[in-house]
Amino acid sequence: MPDKQTLPQSNRPRVVILSAFQDYRTPKRASIHQVSHALAEDGYDVSFISTRFSLISKKKGDSRLFLWNQSNEWHVVDGIRCYLWRTTFHPFATGSAISDALMARLFSMYSMFPNKDIDEDIISADYIIIESSVSAIYINRIKRLNSSVKIIYYATDRLDTVGAHPYVRQELIRKAHLINHFCLRSVLMAPDFTWAKDRLYRADFGIDLDDFSDVGKNPYTNKLNAVSVGSMLFDKQFFQEVAPHFPDVHFHVIGCGSEFKGPDNVTIYKEMPFRKTIPYIRYADVGIAPYRLAPGVEYLADSSLKLGQYEYLQVPAVCPNFAVGTNKYRFGYTLNDAASMVEAMMYALAAAGTIPARHFPSWTEVADQVLHPERYPDARIEIE
């Protein structure tokens, strides 16, 4: 269980991470979790603040709901102070131009909701990392409380792809002069930041060797296995179309965020802690990234953690053509084309056991790159 006793204040450099979708304590691991952990391991005093959480979250479904009774108080996990800010309501994108126009006013109000705990943490920070999307609405508040703090915008996803409210982009552009630099998980995001082209840097995919030092036993009983991990833009159609063509392959779907009826050779698992997913990837014959189409998804070719993990563990991958990029060990298919999906699966199975090892930087290196990109000349993104 997390420790409710907060860590004593230290003289170490203080980093506050703001996320509107992630909480450090959730089982799944996104890159912001890895960066947070790496910074703490590297000697920084780290806080992880999770926002955009309210009664609305119960209706919409939210991976943080299990923390409902631990919200609005500090807990310490892995040496990181964690805080889930629960409010009565939170604004969101409605998908309707009229409703979104009304909701924009609520975003401005929401950004100023009082919270002494969070304000005190911001005041004592040396660095604040704002993860993509809604947390950008706090930029003005941050600078008002702490004029000397270094603000970093960590773009893990494109705003259009995750369906962010237009107010978020507008506020990000309005307050761009207050942001020290922008770290993008993919250079393909750069056209979204032409208004900050003098401060753009790339943030790589990393590996924590400790995560993979003891992978554990093979969890499979079937001879041939394919695995999918994660819920982002999950497309169940892939399994409904492809699995019947491969009766000798068992398809394992971990943490897809929904239930669906699949063929008998498809097993659906609830979300697992990150390390528990590793043996499922390590001993799989094929890794699947079944993304569905969304605006601007091409950046996933660079930023997808699951595709990076498949490659690190030398597992051939199947994904839509837009996520292949330049990687020859990913086998792409055309969305909504069953024959193309089946063909990609055939090619991936044929490549099982042939993927060469590849070196990746550590998450400690990536975290340092996020805070201090000037130390990494090759990370600079140049655009016209």
Active site residues: 157
Strand 330-333's sheet: what is its strand order? 266-269, 249-254, 224-229, 286-288, 317-320, 330-333
- Collapsed DSSP state (helix, strand, coil) of residue 353: coil
> What are the C-alpha distances in Å from 333 to residues 179, 297, 355?
39, 15, 19
Residue type, 338: A
Q: Which amino acid is residue 324, in one-letter code?
A: V
Which residues lie below 8 Å from residue 33, measured CB to CB, with a gap of 6+?
Answer: 22, 24, 26, 274
Q: Cβ of 180: how many Cβ atoms within 10 Å? A: 14
Question: What SS3 class is residue 9?
Answer: coil
Environment class of 109 (CB within 10 Å of its CB; exposed 0-12, middle 13-18, buried 19+): exposed
68 residue type, one letter: W
3-class state of residue 120 by DSSP: helix
Per residue, the 3-state secondary structure of 175-224, as one string, reads CHHHCCEEEECCHHHHHHHHHHHHHEEECCCCECHHHHCCCCCCCCCCCE
**Among 327, 337, 218, 199, which Cα is nearest to 280's?**
218
- Where residue 72 falls (left for φ over 0; alpha for ψ -120 to 50; beta otherwise) is left
Side-chain-side CA neighbours of 381 within 13 Å: the count stands at 23
Quick one: how far is CA 18 from the chain centroid?
13
